């Protein structure tokens, strides 16, 4: 049994897997990871959003039980990260004008914030608010208290998401017999765990490429300026290869990892290299690269669009930091450098968290996909272990039979998604084409 001290537990609902993690905060400030568990999923979570409540609940229950067995504990509550394709920021301003010049007080600033929090969004709720600069007359300040003025304007970035996003998380955890201590916003906690304050002050973008979504968080002057989730990820490239070449998903994933690239190879001889695939067929390495690089080019183009439309390209002195399982694709830093205008020296892959980690010998968290859930654990503090109920007590009831509970529209997209306009090309039809052509918007802003 683990020594009797606070044990923190966190869960993450990813599109490729639901993960659970248990750890302890050490006196020296390090994080001791005791155990991790995950359930690979295919249809429980879609683009970071709970799609099937019963299957998700069953996966959480199995993870909880395995953690209990491994550590000899009884988990009663946990932290759960929130992400998903409907998560994004929306700018909102609140103004107050006074009859005469006044000294701004904390109470006046709180009143602005309260008014901002009361703004209503259709089918959306505010999860968190990131205050920007305050405008006082013609001046700006991040700390307006004590400044004399007759007008103050509060500028806020409201982090919003569909109401069902948080509601379904709570339902699943409750059905699995777990109370929720907090629901932190995963991209924000990941940014705290990966990005030094110096980089957020000088300006940087954190790009987290997952299985079905890519989240972009932009910081300048140590303030979050923009957050958006794009409904594209590494799994989309796998699906393209499977569909176009009539492959099973597992085989397509292996080919993507082994031969795929986000940047087409300059090797002119690779077109002649034929690979044996299922059903006694062959597939050229060039075809694999064209399919995979086309989808990754679309991901990079959408990230670049988010940076350019906010005119932040000249403010990101620390460049772009990549993370997430989809960021491991070969040639990705070169693709970002070519399509964003940033030099390769300003595109980096974040493999290591800022915190000092200690892990049990049986625990392997080296996989980059664990960065998010470790970041959630770093943000948590309260003990998640309680007393196991007596055998005569009522057991938590979990419905094992899967019934789809659809909570999102498959066609729902973020505030803006773009795709390279296709140009007909022999062998790939209109689906793939000239990736350097004109970009066009697929949808209007989701606000």
Could you report the per-residue pLDDT of 289-311, keeping only the tens digit for each?
999 999 999 999 999 999 998 89
Supply 373's token pair: 């859930």
Pick 8-84+164-195+353-379's CATH classification: 3.40.50.300, 1.10.645.10, 3.40.50.720, 3.30.420.40. 3.30.420.40
What pLDDT does residue 440 have?
40
End-to-end, the C-alpha distance of the chain in Å comes to: 49
Domain ranges of the chain: 8-84+164-195+353-379, 88-160, 198-351+416-441
What pLDDT does residue 188 have?
97
Alpha-helical segments (H) within 158-274: 163-175, 186-194, 197-202, 234-244, 249-259
- How many CB atoms are located within 10 Å of the residue 242 CB? 19
What pLDDT does residue 104 have?
96
Q: Residue length, the chain?
A: 447
Q: 348 — phi, psi (to 5°)?
A: -135, 155
Instruction: Find out whether 171 and 252 touch, Cβ atoms under 8 Å.
Output: no
Residue 392: which residues within 8 A CB-CB, separation 6 or more? none
What pLDDT does residue 222 have?
95
Strands 347-349 and 357-359: unpaired
198-351+416-441 matches 8-84+164-195+353-379 in CATH topology? yes
What pLDDT does residue 393 have?
53
- How many CB atoms are located within 10 Å of the residue 220 CB? 20
Strands 179-182 and 77-80: parallel
3-state helix, strand, coil in the chain (%, to 5): 30, 30, 40
Instruction: Find out whether 52 and 402 touch, Cβ atoms under 8 Å.
Output: yes
Rounded distance, CA 420 to CA 301, Å?
A: 8
Q: 285 — phi, psi (to 5°)?
A: -65, -30
- Please give the model's pTM, rounded to 2 decimal places: 0.84
Consecutive 10-residue averages of pLDDT for the chain (447 residues):
76 90 89 91 81 92 96 96 92 95 96 96 95 94 95 97 92 96 96 95 96 95 96 95 95 95 79 85 92 96 94 94 93 94 91 75 68 92 89 49 44 53 43 40 41
Closest CA relative to residue 21, chosen from 51, 60, 53, 50? 60
CATH class of this structure's domain 88-160: alpha beta
Supply 272's token pair: 């002649």
What pLDDT does residue 443 have?
35
Residues linked to residue 18 through DSSP beta bridges, in sequence order: 13, 39
Residues linked to residue 130 through DSSP beta bridges, in sequence order: 157
Closest CA relative to residue 355, chosen from 200, 228, 196? 196
Level-2 CATH architecture, domain 198-351+416-441: 2-Layer Sandwich (3.30)
């Amino acid at each position: 049994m683990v020594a009797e001290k606070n044990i923190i537990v966190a869960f993450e609902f990813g599109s490729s897997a639901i993960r659970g993690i248990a750890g302890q905060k050490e006196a020296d400030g390090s994080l001791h990871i005791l155990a991790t568990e995950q359930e690979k999923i295919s249809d429980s979570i879609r683009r970071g959003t709970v799609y099937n409540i019963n299957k998700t609940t069953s996966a959480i229950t199995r993870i909880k039980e395995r953690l209990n067995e491994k550590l000899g504990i009884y988990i009663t509550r946990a932290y759960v990260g929130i992400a998903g394709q409907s998560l994004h920021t929306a700018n909102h301003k609140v103004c107050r004008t006074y009859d005469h010049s006044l000294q701004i007080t904390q109470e006046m600033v709180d009143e602005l914030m309260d008014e901002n929090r009361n703004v209503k969004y259709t089918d959306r709720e505010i999860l968190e608010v990131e205050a920007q600069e305050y405008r006082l007359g013609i001046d700006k300040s991040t700390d307006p208290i004590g400044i004399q003025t007759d007008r103050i304007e509060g500028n806020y970035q409201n982090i919003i998401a569909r109401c069902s996003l948080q509601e379904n998380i709570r339902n699943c955890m409750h059905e699995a017999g777990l109370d929720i201590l907090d629901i932190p916003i995963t991209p924000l906690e990941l940014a705290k765990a990966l990005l030094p304050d110096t980089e957020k002050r000088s300006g940087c973008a954190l790009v987290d490429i997952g299985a079905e979504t890519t989240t972009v968080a932009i910081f300048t002057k140590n303030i979050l300026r923009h957050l958006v989730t794009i409904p594209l990820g590494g799994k989309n490239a796998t699906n393209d290869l499977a569909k176009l070449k009539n492959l099973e998903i597992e085989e397509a994933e292996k080919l993507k990892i082994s031969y795929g690239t986000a940047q087409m190879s300059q090797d002119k001889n690779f077109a002649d290299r034929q690979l044996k695939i299922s059903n006694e067929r062959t597939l050229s390495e060039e075809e694999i690269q064209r399919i995979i690089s086309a989808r990754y080019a679309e991901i990079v183009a959408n990230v670049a669009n988010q940076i350019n439309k906010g005119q932040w390209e000249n403010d990101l002195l620390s460049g772009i930091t990549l993370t997430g399982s989809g960021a491991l694709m070969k040639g990705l830093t070169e693709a970002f450098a070519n399509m964003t205008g940033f030099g390769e020296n300003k595109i980096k892959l974040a493999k290591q968290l800022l915190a000092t980690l200690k892990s049990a010998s049986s625990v392997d968290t080296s996989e980059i996909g664990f960065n998010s859930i470790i970041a959630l654990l770093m943000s948590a503090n309260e003990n998640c272990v309680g007393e196991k109920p007596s055998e005569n007590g009522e057991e938590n009831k979990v419905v094992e039979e899967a019934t789809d509970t659809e909570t999102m529209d498959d066609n729902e997209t973020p505030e803006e998604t773009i795709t390279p306009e296709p140009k007909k090309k022999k062998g790939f039809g209109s689906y793939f084409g000239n990736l350097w052509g004109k970009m066009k918007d697929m949808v209007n802003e989701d606000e």
